[in-house]
Amino acid sequence: MKTLWMAVVVFFLTIVGVGLARAQKPSDKPVVRLDPALDALVSPDAKLELVKGGFGFTEGALWVQKGKIGYLLFSDIPANVIYKWTPDGKVSVYLDHSGYTGQDIWRVGFMQTNGKDRNDPLFEEFPMIGSNGLALDRQDRLIIATWAGRSA
Contact between 144 and 59 (Cβ < 8 Å):
no
Backbone angles phi, psi at 12, to 5 degrees: -60, -45
The DSSP-derived string for 69-92 is EEEEEEEETTTTEEEEE-TTS-EE
Query: What is the percentage of the chain residues whose pLDDT exceeds 70?
Result: 70
Confidence band, pLDDT 50/70/90 cuts, at residue 17: very low
Q: Is the pTM of this model over 0.75?
A: no
Give the tens place of pLDDT for each residue, 44-97.
Answer: 888 887 878 888 778 889 999 988 999 999 998 888 889 999 999 899 999 988
In the chain, where are the structural domains located?
A: 43-146
The number of beta carbons lying within 10 Å of the beta carbon of residue 71 is 18
